[in-house]
Chain A
C-alpha cells in the first residue's frame, strides 16, 4: 500500500442518498467546500427504491394539518419518538415538499394542478379520526424522482463528488473532535485521507442484516458501524421494521401505496383478516400491526399456498387503469419477478426486513450526541442524518412516507447547522499523526492470506441467524440463543480470509469490509433486543406482550465496549404544543 494522499474540505458527506444530497445541496448553496463520498454512483443509492411517497400535510386531497401528522407519528412510534424532533419534522414537511417540487421532482398531479396525495398507513385526521391522505407521490417512484432531482441540483451547485469511494473509518483527535475519514478509492484500491472540519454520516440503513429484505446489496449500515468503532453508542437498534408486503420468499418491496390505493390482504379463506386486528384502519394500520397480523395468520394455519407461508394482496379490483397510472412500477415488478398479472391475480406477500429505526443518536440539528454524567453532549464536528441516524422521529415504528420526509428535513437541518459551525470554526484542527493508523490497519487486516472461511458464507449465516432469532416475534430464550450465535459468528469473523488480494476494483474486499460492519450491527441489535422485556412497536415479545411505560419508556444506547447498554429518557415535550402522553395504541 502506498502512503495515502490527503485532501481537505470544509465538510465531508458520507453517503449520497437523499439525506446526504439534501445536506450537500444546502452546503454548496452556502458556498461551503463539500466533498460527497459514496460507494456507488449517487443515483444508485437506495433512496432510489422508495416507492410510495413523502408525507406532508398539504391538504390537497383531504383536510390536513401538521399537528395531526405529528399526532400520528407519535402514536406510530409507540410513544418512543422524541416529540420535539417530531414536531420539528412535521412542521417543516410542507415547506420541504414544495422545495422539492420547485427543484423539479415530477410529482403526480391532481386535476387542479396541485401535488397528488394518497392515503398511507397510520394516517388520520383530527387526532385519530378518519383516514387522511398525506403522502405526496410521483406515481410509485417517488424515491427515484427525489434522488435524481437532488443529484441534478447538486450538479448545478457544483458539489464535489467522490463516486465509488468506500468509507473505512472516522478520524478523531484527543479532544474528541471528528476530523474527517479515511476512505478507499474502489477503482484504484488506494486509501485517501479526507480531512474535514465537519463530517456528516448519511449512509442509510442495514437491511442486509436479514436474509429476506427489501434493501439493496449496499445497505450494510457502514456509517453506523463506523460510529460504533469511534466509541459512540447506537440508539434503539432493537427496533427493526418488517414491511408487511414484501414479495413472499423474495423480499422485493410492494409499496404501502398499493393498500393506500385500495388494495387489501386476504388469508387462505379469502377473509379480509385485517378487520379483526385493526377494525378502524384495517389494511392501513401501522406497519408493525399489519406485519404481526400477517405473521399470526400464517402461524395459526391460515396462510396461503402449498406451504401456507404467505397471505395474498388483492389489487385486481382496482382495475388495470388505476394500476397503470398510480402503481406502474409495482405492476412491472410483479410481472418481472412473479410472472403474474396483479390486474388479474392476487399477489403473495409476507413481512420482510425493511427499515432501521435505530441508529446514531442525534439532536434535531443533526448533531451526533453521546451521554455524559449529566445528560448528553454533542460530538464536535460530527453529524448524522437519515436512516443511519436516530433523532428519534420514528421511535419504535416508522410510519410509511416518513422516511423520505426524514431524510430531507434532517439533511437540510444538518446542512444549516454545519454552516453555523463552519462560521465559528474557520480552520482545520491539526490531524494527529497516528489518527490514520487504525483505519489503515482495518484495511490491512484483509491482506491476510491463506485458507479460511468465506465472506459470502459467513454473511449468509449471519442473515439467516438474524432472521430466525431476531424476527417479527421474539422471546427471551430465542433472543438468548440468538445473542450466543451472533457472538460466535463475531468470533469466526477473524478466521475469514479473502482469496482476491488485488487492488483494482476489488469488490470482494469491499464485501469483507461490509461484513465487518454487519456483524458489529447484528451484535448491537440482538443485545439491545435481548434486554428489552416489553413489546413496543416493531419489538414484539411473545413473553412480554404488553408495552411497559413504567420501565421501558426510554431509549436504548448500545456501546461496543463490553457490549454495554445504557438508557436515556424519551423527550415527551414538544417544541411549542402540548405533549401527547402515552396511551393505548389501537388502529
Chain B
C-alpha cells in the first residue's frame, strides 16, 4: 500500500453553514496501521480536522465513528481491507459539535437512567460478598462495555424513538446489574423498564451486535431482561 484516499465529514459551526465532505490523500501507508493512525497523520496535514481519541487500543471508547457506512472504533480498525475512498462520518443521529465529534448527552442520559450501579440493601459484610464463579460468569459479556456508543447510535429503534427508547448500551448495563447475584434491586429495575418504549422498542434488528467493537451482544441482554420480566410477573 503506498497511498490511501479518504472522504471525511467536516463541519465547523463557526465557519461552515452546513456539513461537507473533504477529500484527503495519505501517503506512505504502512502495513498494520489502524484508522486512528491515519487520522492522526491527516491531522498533521490539516490541524483543524477534529475527532476524539485517547487510549489507542479499544478500551477507552473515545473514537467511535461511522466508517464506510458502519460504526466502529478508529483505533482498532485496520486500514487494510477498507474500501477506498474510506468514507468517515460522525456516528449517526446525535447532534454534531464539530467534524466527527458528536454531543453524547442523550446517550449518557439513558445510561444514567437505568441506575447503572450496584444496589444492596443489606448491611455490608466486613469481607467481600461471596459470588461463585458460575454467578460471576453471568457478568461476562456485559461488564466489558466501554460506552463508546457504537451500538446505540446504529440502532434504528433508537433513531425512531429518541428520548424514549433506552438503546442497546443502556439496556446492556441494566442487564449487567439485574444478573449480578449481589444486586438487590431487581423489582425496581424491572419496573423502571416497563412501558412500550424504554425496553420494548427493541425489534431485534441486531445492528448493535454487528457493530459492537468489544464483541458484546446487547440483543441477548435485552432478551434476558424480557425473560426476567416474564418471570417477575408470574
Check B126 for interface membership: any CB of A closer than 8 A.
yes
Check B14 for interface membership: any CB of A closer than 8 A.
yes
Contact B43 A456 (CB under 8 A): yes
**Known A44-B62, A187-B97, A505-B101; contact A217-B112, beta-carbon cutoff 8 A:** no
**Known A106-B143, A153-B117; contact A505-B50, beta-carbon cutoff 8 A:** yes
Contact A106 B54 (CB under 8 A): no
Check B13 for interface membership: any CB of A closer than 8 A.
yes
A564 to chain B, nearest CB (A): 34
- Of A145, A152, A508, the residue contacting B47 (CB under 8 A) is A508
Check A454 for interface membership: any CB of B closer than 8 A.
yes
Check B3 for interface membership: any CB of A closer than 8 A.
no
Contact B47 A141 (CB under 8 A): no
Contacts of A339 in B (CB 8 A): 32
Q: How many residues of A contact B (CB 8 A)?
A: 59
Contact B54 A98 (CB under 8 A): no
A220 to chain B, nearest CB (A): 11
The B interface is mostly helix, strand or loop, or mixed, namely: loop
Contacts of B132 in A (CB 8 A): 109, 111, 113
Question: B51-83 vs A: 1/0 string, CB under 8 Å?
Answer: 111111111111000000000000010000000
Residue on B with the closest CB to A250? B32
Contacts of B127 in A (CB 8 A): 98, 114
Check A216 for interface membership: any CB of B closer than 8 A.
yes
Contact B53 A217 (CB under 8 A): yes
Contact A145 B143 (CB under 8 A): yes
Check B162 for interface membership: any CB of A closer than 8 A.
no
User: For the side of the interface on B, what is the size category?
Assistant: 35 or more
- Of A102, A155, A502, the residue contacting B48 (CB under 8 A) is A502
Contacts of B61 in A (CB 8 A): 43-44
Question: A46-69 vs B: 1/0 string, CB under 8 Å?
Answer: 101100000000000000000000
B1 to chain A, nearest CB (A): 15
Contact A114 B56 (CB under 8 A): no
**Known A216-B60, A503-B14, A504-B97; contact A48-B55, beta-carbon cutoff 8 A:** yes
A198 to chain B, nearest CB (A): 26
Most B-side CB within 10 Å, residue of A46, A110, A337, A507: A507
Contact B117 A102 (CB under 8 A): no
- Of B44, B53, B126, B133, the residue contacting A456 (CB under 8 A) is B44
- Of A41, A49, A503, the residue contacting B55 (CB under 8 A) is A49
Contacts of B118 in A (CB 8 A): 102-104, 149, 152
Contacts of A355 in B (CB 8 A): none
Contact A152 B48 (CB under 8 A): no
Report the Cα distance A108→B56, complex, angstroms: 26
Contacts of B129 in A (CB 8 A): 101-102
Contact B12 A504 (CB under 8 A): yes
**Known A110-B133, A113-B131, A155-B117; contact A216-B54, beta-carbon cutoff 8 A:** yes
Question: B124-140 vs A: 1/0 string, CB under 8 Å?
Answer: 10111111110110010
Residue on A with the closest CB to B108? A41
Contacts of A454 in B (CB 8 A): 44, 47
Most B-side CB within 10 Å, residue of A44, A138, A155, A506: A44
Contacts of B58 in A (CB 8 A): 332-333, 336
- Of A48, A115, A152, the residue contacting B117 (CB under 8 A) is A152
What is the number of contacts between chain A and chain B, taking CB atoms within 8 Å?
A: 147
Question: A487-507 vs B: 1/0 string, CB under 8 Å?
Answer: 000000000001110111111
Residue on A with the closest CB to B128? A101
Contacts of A155 in B (CB 8 A): 112, 116-117
Check B182 for interface membership: any CB of A closer than 8 A.
yes
Contacts of B116 in A (CB 8 A): 152, 155
Contacts of B139 in A (CB 8 A): 106
Contact B76 A336 (CB under 8 A): yes
A479 to chain B, nearest CB (A): 29
Check B228 for interface membership: any CB of A closer than 8 A.
no
Contact A504 B13 (CB under 8 A): yes
A212 to chain B, nearest CB (A): 12
Contact A144 B146 (CB under 8 A): yes
Report the Cα distance A104→B115, complex, angstroms: 13
Report the Cα distance A49→B56, complex, angstroms: 10
Contact A216 B117 (CB under 8 A): no
Report the Cα distance A11→B79, complex, angstroms: 45
Contacts of A508 in B (CB 8 A): 43, 47-48
Check A374 for interface membership: any CB of B closer than 8 A.
no
Contact A333 B57 (CB under 8 A): yes
Contacts of A152 in B (CB 8 A): 116-118
Contact B14 A502 (CB under 8 A): yes
- Of A49, A104, A333, the residue contacting B180 (CB under 8 A) is A104
Residue on A with the closest CB to B97? A505
Contacts of B128 in A (CB 8 A): 97-98, 101-102, 107, 114-115
Residue on B with the closest CB to A460? B44
Check B17 for interface membership: any CB of A closer than 8 A.
no
Check B120 for interface membership: any CB of A closer than 8 A.
yes
Contact B98 A337 (CB under 8 A): no
Contact A98 B55 (CB under 8 A): no
- Of A40, A109, A505, the residue contacting B60 (CB under 8 A) is A40
Write 25 A-B pairs (CB below 8 A) sorted by A numbering. A40-B60, A41-B108, A44-B55, A44-B62, A48-B55, A48-B59, A49-B60, A104-B177, A108-B136, A111-B133, A113-B130, A114-B127, A144-B144, A155-B112, A217-B54, A217-B56, A336-B58, A337-B57, A339-B32, A455-B47, A457-B44, A499-B47, A500-B47, A502-B12, A504-B14
Interface residues of A (CB under 8 A from B): 40-41, 43-46, 48-49, 97-98, 101-104, 106-115, 138, 141, 144-145, 148-149, 152-153, 155-156, 187, 216-218, 252, 329, 332-333, 336-337, 339, 454-457, 498-500, 502-508
Interface residues of B (CB under 8 A from A): 12-15, 32, 43-44, 47-48, 50-62, 76, 97-99, 101, 104, 108, 112, 115-118, 120, 124, 126-133, 135-136, 139, 143-144, 146-147, 177, 180, 182
Given contacts A49-B55, A98-B127, A114-B130, 4 further A-B contacts (CB under 8 A): A138-B143, A252-B56, A454-B47, A508-B43
Name the 10 nearest CB pairs between A and B, nearest first: A104-B118, A113-B130, A152-B117, A44-B60, A508-B47, A505-B98, A216-B55, A216-B54, A101-B128, A109-B136
